[in-house]
């Protein structure tokens, strides 16, 4: 496993915004975790109503593989690269068009790719595995449209990072061809325990955005009564054999720091090319907030360079043999 602690000087502008997030957004996150279902619905509508910013790319709401969501670029050319982006939001909050679409647009422009962000079903109305089912359908939908798996890249932040790693397991289990690579950004990889891995506790005061106590509410809404150690819920315990190269991006002060480090270690032990970039000071899922943090440009360039590297290396390869079939061979 290649772990890089980024040696960068964090700007005063970024430090100011980290302080604002700590004083304003973190308390709001605490309150959000305590809201009623009716209040969550109002929040869904409020966030979805924010004006989309597609970064100059054609944008339309489409249905792919029975899953709706915004598409950036031209779906009619399956010879190009396709980015499947899985948004975060604790499995209970939809994508924020004014935040997620500009981020996806930056990646699409840099890669010359078309992008699709599934509007997957949310808890508490649709608990696990509804969101993951939708992500799998979206991936199948891209394949059915003619996009070659080795020209598809998958990425997602926070809960979307969890779904990214869960989707790769689904792809292997179904015998589908793997994408060229995947980029989990600040993923949640442990859903069985609120208090672990260790960074959940050691960074509880350092994390500027995520209140640890809200995790319990997220688990209750998304996976109440289920086995939290199921690898599809907690990719920390997954079998990573046969998965494509992985590039984790996480903040050094995050309570989710070890979620990335330990998952990458598991992947490395299974023979997967797993890399981790650990950024100082910057908060959870910081690459999405380019207007706050000038350092996002470097993080984006690093992510795009990794994707380009893997796309250049990727070749058409046969689909993996599902475990159940292999056992009969």
Most confident range, picked from 38-52, 211-225, 270-284: 270-284
Q: How confident is the model at residue 40 (pLDDT cuts 50, 70, 90)?
A: low
Instruction: Please compute the mean of the pLDDT values over residues 79-101 and round it to a whole number.
Output: 94
Q: In the beta sheet, which residues pair with residue 185?
A: 157, 249
Whether the pLDDT of residue 30 is over 90: the answer is no
Q: How confident is the model at residue 38 (pLDDT cuts 50, 70, 90)?
A: low
User: What 8-state DSSP symbol labels residue 157?
Assistant: E
| Signed CA dihedral, 154, 260, 250, 187: sign only | positive
Instruction: Please compute the mean of the pLDDT values over residues 49-65 and round it to a whole number.
Output: 82
Q: How many CB atoms lie under 10 A from the CB of residue 276?
A: 23
Whether the pLDDT of residue 37 is over 70: the answer is no
| Angle at the Cα of 305 from the Cα atoms of 302 and 308, rounded to 5 degrees | 150
pLDDT of residue 180: 98
Instruction: Please compute the mean of the pLDDT values over residues 110-135 and round it to a whole number.
Output: 96
pLDDT of residue 168: 98
Helix, strand or coil for residue 260? helix
Order of strands, sheet of 152-157, starting from the edge strand that comes earlier in the sequence: 2-5, 274-279, 246-251, 181-185, 152-157, 81-86, 113-116, 67-72, 59-64
Instruction: Please compute the mean of the pLDDT values over residues 229-254 and round it to a whole number.
Output: 97
Lowest average pLDDT, out of 118-127, 220-229, 248-257, 260-269, goes to 220-229
Q: Could you state, in order of their start, the residue ranges of all structural domains in the chain?
A: 2-314
Catalytic-residue membership of 126:
no
Whether the pLDDT of residue 203 is over 60: the answer is yes
214, 254, 260, 295: the active-site residue: 254
pLDDT of residue 327: 44
pLDDT of residue 49: 67
pLDDT of residue 224: 81
pLDDT of residue 255: 96
pLDDT of residue 329: 39
Q: How confident is the model at residue 205 (pLDDT cuts 50, 70, 90)?
A: very high
Q: How confident is the model at residue 328 (pLDDT cuts 50, 70, 90)?
A: very low
pLDDT of residue 111: 97
Q: Quick one: which of 56, 65, 234, 44 has its CA closest to 135?
A: 65
User: What 8-state DSSP symbol labels residue 22?
Assistant: I
pLDDT of residue 319: 55
- High-pLDDT (> 70) share of the chain, %: 89
Q: Quick one: which of 23, 15, 26 has its CA closest to 212?
A: 26
Fold of 2-314: Rossmann fold (3.40.50)
Q: Are 267 and 240 in contact (CB under 8 A)?
A: yes
Whether the pLDDT of residue 50 is over 80: the answer is no
158, 214, 234, 260: the active-site residue: 158
Most confident range, picked from 44-48, 152-156, 206-210: 152-156
Instruction: Please compute the mean of the pLDDT values over residues 194-216 and round it to a whole number.
Output: 90
Instruction: Please compute the mean of the pLDDT values over residues 240-246 and round it to a whole number.
Output: 97
pLDDT in tens, 124-182: 889 999 999 999 999 999 999 999 999 999 999 999 999 999 999 999 999 999 999 99
Whether the pLDDT of residue 321 is over 60: the answer is no
Catalytic-residue membership of 260:
no
Catalytic-residue membership of 9:
no
Q: Tell me the average pLDDT of the chain.
A: 90
Whether the pLDDT of residue 322 is over 60: the answer is no
């Amino acid at each position: 496993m290649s772990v890089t602690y980024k040696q960068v000087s964090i700007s005063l502008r970024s430090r100011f915004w980290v302080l604002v997030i700590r004083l304003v957004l973190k308390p709001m996150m605490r309150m959000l975790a305590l809201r009623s279902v009716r209040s969550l619905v109002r929040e869904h509508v409020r966030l979805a109503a924010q004006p989309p910013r597609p970064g100059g790319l054609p944008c339309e709401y489409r249905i792919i593989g029975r899953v709706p969501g915004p598409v950036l670029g031209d779906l009619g050319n399956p010879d190009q690269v396709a980015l499947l982006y899985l948004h975060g939001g604790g499995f209970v909050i939809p994508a924020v068009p004014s935040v997620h679409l500009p981020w996806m647009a930056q990646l699409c422009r840099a890669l010359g790719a078309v992008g699709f962000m599934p509007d997957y079903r949310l808890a508490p109305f649709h608990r696990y595995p509804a969101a993951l089912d939708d992500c799998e359908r979206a991936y199948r939908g891209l394949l059915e449209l003619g996009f070659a798996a080795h020209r598809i890249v998958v990425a997602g932040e926070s809960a979307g990072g969890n779904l990214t790693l869960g989707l790769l397991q689904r792809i292997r289990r179904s015998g589908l061809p793997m994408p060229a690579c995947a980029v989990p950004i600040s993923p949640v990889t442990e859903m069985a325990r609120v208090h672990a891995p260790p960074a959940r506790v050691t960074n509880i005061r350092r994390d500027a955005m995520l209140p640890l106590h809200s995790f319990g509410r997220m688990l209750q809404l998304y996976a109440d009564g289920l086995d939290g150690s199921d690898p599809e819920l907690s990719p920390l315990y997954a079998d990573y054999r046969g998965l494509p190269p992985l590039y984790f991006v996480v903040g050094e002060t995050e309570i989710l720091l070890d979620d990335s480090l330990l998952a990458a270690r598991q992947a490395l032990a299974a023979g997967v090319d797993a890399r981790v970039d650990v950024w100082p000071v910057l908060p959870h899922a910081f690459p999405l907030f380019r207007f706050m943090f000038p350092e996002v440009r470097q993080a984006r360039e690093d992510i795009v360079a990794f994707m380009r590297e893997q796309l250049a290396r990727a070749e058409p390869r046969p689909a993996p043999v599902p475990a159940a079939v292999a056992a009969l061979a």
